[in-house]
Amino acid sequence: MKTRITELLGIRHPVIEGGMQWVGRAGLAAAVSEAGGLGIITALTHDSPDGLVREIEEVRRLTQKPFGVNLTLLPTLKPVSYDAYVDVILSEGVAIVETAGRSPEPFMSAFLASGIKVIHKCTSVRHAIKAEKLGCAAVSVDGFECAGHPGEDDIPALVLLPLAADALSIPIIASGGFGDGRGLAAALSLGADGINMGTRFLATKEAPVHERIKRVLVEADERQTALILRSLHNTVRIFKNRVAEEVMALETKEGTTIEDIAPLVSGTRGALVYETGDVDAGVWTAGMVVGLIRDVPTAAELVSRVVLEAESIVKKRLGSMVAE
Ligand code: NAD
């Protein structure tokens, strides 16, 4: 498929790996890029900028193809020196950056001066318009179905994508709820130029995630996600496990603060889920698309299946419905 996104990023298929904390490592990102999509490593998976340098070196050892670095700008329990991560992105000559969580404005002049293509992930049309004005090359528009932070407006992709397509000139990546070729065909129909898949790539052979968690993803249905941190206006969609239920119970109590919740939601605790395979070790993000995950293919099998299915839908299923 040739879309504005494949042209912009120099990739073969309009499929981009979601920026996944702890999971966006070199092995998976390189596998997605080798498969013709765009692999994304996540900066904050590393507690020091040096870790990001090593991860970038590792992706480059594994693939010559384009890849991106995700930089998420959201509240964190420990202060993060974003400038130091931006310095690594600049000094390592990274070509594609995905920002998320907050406006990338403070870093845009440095990114643009280095010729970096910035994809800003946003959950509203107003933020997408701002990103276009700031000089972002593309936006990733994240519907309410998504894993991680859906924002506070709760607008699903079916409405958000056509609204964004009407309002923007830059290419759009559809994000949130995408896991198969039907999703890709739908996203293109709604005005997007490609899709972003996070949770779906969690259940691939190359994902650095315990096999037990991949099985949980295969067995889960679409109702097994929960929204937490809504009381703090920092809503996160996660897998509905015992810790999620504890957090939700705490949030119903008047006056609950981030300090009360922090021991439950801390990302370092959540990382233990992927490491040990204990589904209740902490909180871990998953989108509603879990209901559509039925196997654990390689990243290459997944990308090619998604694209072939979308092509067949466009050419055969939809094509055959148009009356002469
Ligand atoms: P963390 O351990 O610092 O924080 C855990 C959660 O609490 C995060 O969702 C964070 O946004 C939230 N939080 C922290 N301080 C807060 C405050 N003062 N008010 C409201 N909410 C607060 O974060 P982490 O899990 O190590 O993640 C690092 C970064 O990656 C964060 O920016 C986080 O939001 C983001 N993240 C992204 C994904 C993804 O899939 N893209 C998943 C998890 C986290």
Q: How far apart are CA 33 and CA 146, in angstroms?
A: 22
CA-based nearest residue to 43, from 80, 9, 10: 80
What amino acid is encoded at 274 in this protein? Y
Kindly tell me if the per-residue pLDDT of 182 is higher than 90.
yes
Instruction: Output the CATH code of domain 4-209+295-320.
Output: 3.20.20.70
Kindly tell me if the per-residue pLDDT of 54 is higher than 90.
yes
Kindly tell me if the per-residue pLDDT of 50 is higher than 90.
yes
Across the chain, mean pLDDT equals 98
Res 22: pLDDT: 98
Q: How far apart are CA 231 and CA 247, in angstroms?
A: 11
Res 218: pLDDT: 98
- Per-residue pLDDT tens digits for 5-17: 999 999 999 999 9
Instruction: Name the residue of 28, 69, 74 whose CB sits within 8 Å of the most ligand 1 atoms, as the mutation to test its pocket.
Output: 74
Domain ranges (residues) in the chain:
4-209+295-320, 225-285
Instruction: Name the residue of 17, 21, 142, 284 whose CB sits within 8 Å of the most ligand 1 atoms, as the mutation to test its pocket.
Output: 21
The rounded Cα 23 to chain-centroid distance in angstroms is 11
Res 40: pLDDT: 98
Task: State the number of CA atoms in the 13 A half-sphere of 103 facing the CB.
Answer: 13
With contact defined as beta carbons under 8 Å apart, do 315 and 302 qualify? Answer: no
Res 324: pLDDT: 80
With contact defined as beta carbons under 8 Å apart, do 18 and 289 qualify? Answer: no
What amino acid is encoded at 142 in this protein? D
**Using CA of residue 152, residue 222, residue 160, residue 137, what is the dihedral sign?**
positive
- Per-residue pLDDT tens digits for 116-126: 999 999 999 99
| Gap from CA of 101 to ligand 1 centroid (Å) | 10
Residues with CB under 6 A from ligand 1: 19-21, 44, 72, 74-77, 101, 147-148, 229, 232, 234, 236, 258, 265-267, 270, 285
Mean pLDDT for 24-40 is 98
Percentage with pLDDT > 70 across the chain: 100
Confidence grade of residue 42 (pLDDT, cut at 50, 70, 90): very high
Residue nearest ligand 1's atom 27 by CA: 267
| Gap from CA of 265 to ligand 1 centroid (Å) | 8
Tell me whether residue 23 is exposed, middle or buried, using C-beta atoms within 10 angstroms of its C-beta: 0 to 12, 13 to 18, 19 or more.
buried
Q: What is the pTM of this model?
A: 0.97
Kindly tell me if the per-residue pLDDT of 320 is higher than 90.
yes
CA-based nearest residue to 157, from 140, 170, 133: 140
Q: Record the tokens describing residue 309, joined without a space.
A: 């299915």
- Per-residue pLDDT tens digits for 249-290: 999 999 999 999 999 999 999 999 999 999 999 999 999 999
Res 273: pLDDT: 98
With contact defined as beta carbons under 8 Å apart, do 303 and 196 qualify? Answer: no
Which atom of ligand 1 is closest in space to residue 266's alpha carbon?
2
